Chains A and B, each alone.
Chain A
Amino acid sequence: MLDKGEHPHFDHLIDLTKGEINRSIFSDPDIYQRELKQIFARCWLFLGHTSQLPNENDFFTAYMGEDPVIVTRHSDGQIGAFLNMCRHRGNRVCRADSGNQRMFTCPFHGWTFANNGNLKTVPGYKQVYHEKLDMESHGLVPVAQIDTYKGMIFATFDVSAPSLEDYLGDMAWYLDMAIDRRDGGIEFLPGTHKWRINCNWKFPVDNFVGDSYHGPVSHGSAWESGFEGMPRRKKGYGYEGFQINAGGGHGFGARWAENEEQVYEMALPEFLAYEQERFPETHARLGDLRGMHLSPMHCSIFPNFSMLWQSGNMRVWHPRGVSETEGWSWCFVDKKADPDHRDMVRIHDLQRHGTSGTWEQDDVDNWVQSTLSSRGYVGRQFTQNISMGVEHEIEDPTTIHPDMRGRVAGFQNEINQRQLYAQWARMMNGDAPVVPGATA
């Protein structure tokens, strides 16, 4: 039995003092099944951005863990999310990836649901069901909680989960550097990269949350053939940068600019003019730390959202079995950005990240290899190493800057991976999700 508050089952797989984890968490099918329940049915999961639902009755389909959902904007403007599962025999009621519809008619026997989930019509309701079917309790299953943070739509199936605000904690405050740096925020460009990778879902999350170490080796080929992907910086000024952990398993890595001039020095040449245009506004909105010093690069929000700030790229990693993951990747731009800048961000992003990305291809291959090595019995007896800088966290981050929040370490430090797996263990140990209305 699991004791509430104690973690007898999963803590032994994660050794934070040594920085070692047991490889079976990437290959054990029972652990994977428990992840679907303890992590994907409990956490707030990213579904998409409100700019993907500009009009009444717009919808797109998404996933929460392995559960397919429909995300809709009802005619009253409300955004909702529902299991894409007919309450009769479980068929998918919506087979489109996106569109505009008020009703979803199940292709099997024709039960029809409104885009707020209500069951509207059942063929033969009088003749064959004799009006005995309770229409009210057979609507599409809604998520337990849905909320947005500055346009970012998240939902959870757990009614006992904390609010989105509490779940994101300080990460929301840092997220503003991407989504609230200009008036109007951001929007997603139409189009989603979707692709399958035969890797465990945690490898990409781990890579994005804190692996600033792999760049020169993994991405050497892209870097030297014209696909520069991150700000260059001259040696010898200020800090190199930091890994910042916002708590809850959320973290990111950022370069450090001492002053406005250094912000521009680190900008990719094609983005320089835009950086100069937007800087004063960002600085005024977010202040020195978030609006100037921190130049964030990579990020993950627990459990399966990741971002590349510089490239205008956000993605989720959908679990598809213990050794299969489906990446969904979007390109985002400031709403205020002019058409030229939008073109540059989009092209920069897709030539580096996502399906044909010259950076992504080599990342993907790494995750596949790491997954494979966790399958052998003997290999699994040896731990995965996340010990970099284990005793080198910065004791008082406010000495860097008084506004600094969370736990902080140098730019090359696996603090974020350690905190990711610590959160993983906490969720795996904790209470089961409370899914309202579930009867099975």
Chain B
Amino acid sequence: MKDDINLWFSINQFYTREARYLDDLEFDQWIGLMAPDLRYWMPIVSNRIGRGIGSELTERGHLAHFEDDFESMSNRVKRLATGRAWAETPPGRTNHMVSNVEVTGQDDAGVHVTSKFLIYRSHMETDQEVFSGTRKDVLRSDQETEWKIADRTIILDHAVLTQKSLGIFF
């Protein structure tokens, strides 16, 4: 158990650095934290009652907010650098807050980590957006960047997004 604190500290530092890359618009650095076989997935949440409770999230093969791999995420990053990604011109100002970091397991795939995020985005004059949710990651240790994100599932709390688009990264 005691050794876990080093693991936990390392992952926390990693997430803090990742958040800084995103907030400072250092997207090339950010994509550098992703494994080449990345799965980046954000299912859709909806409201269920009664027997439907438990099936709020769309499954693999259903429509999702994000269903991306390393190539498409790299392309999303490239798009932002074209200077013609109008929804991010000028870029929004974000703060990615990551907390409640919990190591939930380790296996051949890597270290399984659950965390919570709260992201505030301010754009143009008075646009403001708040994103809250959960991330479930599989992290792989890496010589160069300490960790690489191999698998990220993002569960955004909003059933109807109050944000006009999902132009940021999570």
Contact = CB atoms under 8 A, between A and B. Distances in A.
Interface of A: 94-101, 189-198, 217-218, 220-222, 224-227, 326, 330-331, 342-343, 346-347, 349-351, 354-358, 360-362, 364-366, 368
Nearest to B123: A365
Contact of B63 (A95, A192, A225): A192
Contact of B76 (A330, A342, A347, A358): A358
B81 to A, nearest CB: 8
B63 A191 contact: yes
A52 to B, nearest CB: 12
14 contacts: A97-B47, A99-B49, A189-B63, A197-B164, A221-B83, A222-B79, A326-B160, A330-B63, A349-B63, A350-B67, A354-B65, A356-B66, A361-B167, A364-B87
B170 to A, nearest CB: 10
Contacts of B29: none
A134 to B, nearest CB: 29
A366 B89 CA distance: 12
A222 B86 CA distance: 10
Nearest to A330: B63
Contact of A346 (B50, B63, B87, B166): B63
Per DSSP, chain A at the interface is mixed
B6 interface: no
Contacts of B47: 95-97
A221 B82 contact: yes
Interface of B: 42-44, 46-52, 58-59, 61-68, 71-72, 75-76, 78-80, 82-88, 159-167
A101 B79 contact: no
A337 to B, nearest CB: 12
B165 A195 contact: yes
A366 B67 CA distance: 25
Contacts, number: 139
Contacts of B52: 96, 98-100
B65 A99 contact: no
Contacts of B78: 225-226
B164 A198 contact: yes
Contacts of B67: 346-347, 350-351
Contact of B65 (A94, A97, A101, A193): A193
Contacts of B46: 97-98, 192
Contact of B79 (A218, A221, A355, A364): A221
A222 B81 CA distance: 11
B144 to A, nearest CB: 25
A361 B51 contact: no
Given A226-B72, A227-B75, A347-B67, A97 B161 contact: no
Nearest to A367: B164
B86 A366 contact: yes
B62 A195 contact: no
A192 B85 CA distance: 25
Contacts of B82: 220-221, 224-225
B50 to A, nearest CB: 6
Given A194-B160, A326-B160, A218 B63 contact: no
A351 B164 contact: no
Contacts of A346: 61, 63-64, 67
B51 A99 contact: yes
A305 B64 CA distance: 21
Contact of A191 (B58, B66, B80): B58
